[in-house]
A and B are shown apart, each in its own frame.
Chain A
Amino acid sequence: MSERLKVNVCGVEFKNPVIPASGTYGYGREYESLYPLSKLGGISVKGTTLNPRQGNQGPRVAETPAGMLNSVGLQNGGVRKFLDYELPNLLTKDIRVIANIAGATVDECAELAALIDPSAVDMVELNISCPNVKQGGAAFGTDCNVAAAVTAAVKKELPHKPLMVKLSPNVTSITDIAKAVEAAGADALSLINTLLGMRIDIRTRRPILKNNVGGLSGPAVFPVAVRMVWQVANAVKVPIVGMGGIATWEDAVEMMLAGAFAVQVGAAIFADPYAPVKIVDGLEKYCADNGIANISEIVGTVAPW
């Protein structure tokens, strides 16, 4: 691995800017049959809550043109299992670990942060944008005051870790939310979470998802994500990790040109589990072919008309 792909996001150095997105890669165990995790810059682990959660009833997935809807509902083993079982394993893998946390209340988010702060994770990603839970989730991420309050409460409990806040695209103005979260102490922003969507089975006249609605991801959302990253990059000073429909190295370059310091890759992994590795290799070649000494040089360099 060369120096070309090294990136720094709010003080955390990643060997390359490619990070599997939360909820699409578990805790990394499932893909080790194919390649070592060390190929990737980091991993954003499955959204972790204070207590174990079973999530929503199935079906939880519906295919869409160029993407999918999901309504998992934050099924996970809880923060104790993450800290005691998953994290020790990840720490042996030479990969940056981003703890993705979600809470039903502000207090719960703060409590999670306090439990994770002393651990060896590299960064915390606060999920204020899950569309599939009744409490917390997107309810935190769609109101500037609430988003700021939960960010500040979590930040207070994280004296030793940088805090990245994951934003929802299901808002009128994502830049307003971004600015509110930045002012409340976020060290970085990640966006976008999934777009709320719905599919209906025309034979049964029932929604395909048992939860009726779910989050849209995959290449279908990519242009929306690029637009939002670009808008937010022009509105805040903190670094952005861009995601939403990235499937190829070209997509990753586009997202970085829009203003992302690093990228997360999600649903594309389901279609091609090697997608994140191919993106790393493609970025390496892109830099070599274009005389780019370090990929960070291109961040935010789109020249708008």
Chain B
Amino acid sequence: MYKQGKYIIAEKRAIARGVFDLTVDCPEIAALAEPGQFAQVAADGFFLRRPISICDIDKQNGTIRLVFEVRGKGTEKLSDLQKGGLIDIIAPLGHGFTVLDGKKAVCVGGGIGTPPMLGIAKKYGGNAEVISGFRTAGIAILQEDFAAAGCKTTLCTDDGTAGVHGFVTSPLEERLKTDKPDIVYACGPMPMLKGIANLCKQYGVQCEVSLEQRMACGVGACLVCVCRTVKNGEQLLSHVCKDGPVFDGEEVDFS
């Protein structure tokens, strides 16, 4: 179940260089949305919509947050959207994360893969640790949001300008060794997801990864957004928009 419409942008903030945080007033979408789902956002002058993960859902106030990075001309156009203006979205789309009630979770975000971790981390509050990695301290985002949700935060930077110097996989492995969570959620670059899925398999922890791919329809009709998966030993070309974007880590063929 999803909706399409033009909704008012209630808030717009630039939260890092080239990274924007839109709060959209869309009660009918907020009511349906679950962490891990995404929105197809129209960019004026561009034929295809841009898939953007839903960062946070406020069902009470009827809003969702869309945090995106300017990657190309389409997302650059989206960054021109202003508070009080309208945004044309189709949402919520795809399968979100599986929530394990009363359990412990680790949420791992890499760069602009970090935003979808907020919604799921909030489901766990103090039972969640959020490990997020960025190239450098200046582009580390959402740390206060995770802390405000009561989550433990571990920040990593590739260049060592803040937090742990290095990739997210080191603190994740440490955590898997010392205090095994019930589930690990991850979103970010494919090599990072591969490393996380492998670690989780090694330590016997359930893992869900959120993938991205170039899309057109976003609802499972056009079949362009393929990713390689394996189910019951069979190699499949699945669709990120409908079968995902969240997949079981063991089902994704990272080879």
Interface residues of A, Cβ cutoff 8 Å to B: 23-26, 30-31, 33-34, 46, 54-55, 57-68, 70, 72, 75, 208, 218-219, 267, 269-274
Contacts and interface: CB of A to CB of B under 8 A. Distances in A.
Interface of A is mostly: loop
B4 interface: yes
Contacts of A60: 214, 223-226
B225 A30 contact: no
B220 A30 contact: yes
Given A33-B2, A57-B237, A70 B217 contact: no
A23 B214 contact: no
Nearest to B72: A63
Given A30-B219, A33-B1, A58 B225 contact: yes
B147 interface: no
Given A30-B217, A54-B237, A63 B48 contact: yes
A63 B213 contact: no
Contacts, number: 100
Contacts of B42: 271
Interface in B139-159: none
Given A61-B214, A61-B215, A271 B48 contact: yes
Interface of B is mostly: loop
A72 B224 contact: yes
A58 B226 contact: yes
B19 interface: no
Contacts of A66: 47
Given A33-B2, A70-B216, A273-B4, A218 B47 contact: yes
Interface string B1-30: 111100000000000000000000000000
6 contacts: A58-B226, A60-B223, A60-B225, A267-B47, A270-B49, A273-B4
Q: Which 3 A-B pairs have the closest CB atoms?
A: A61-B224, A58-B226, A26-B221
B190 interface: no
A54 B236 contact: yes
Contacts of B235: 54
A271 to B, nearest CB: 6
Contacts of A30: 217, 219-221, 242
B216 A270 contact: yes
A31 B219 contact: yes
Interface string B82-119: 00000000100000000000000000000000000000
Contact of B214 (A55, A58, A219): A58
A148 B223 CA distance: 30
B224 A58 contact: yes
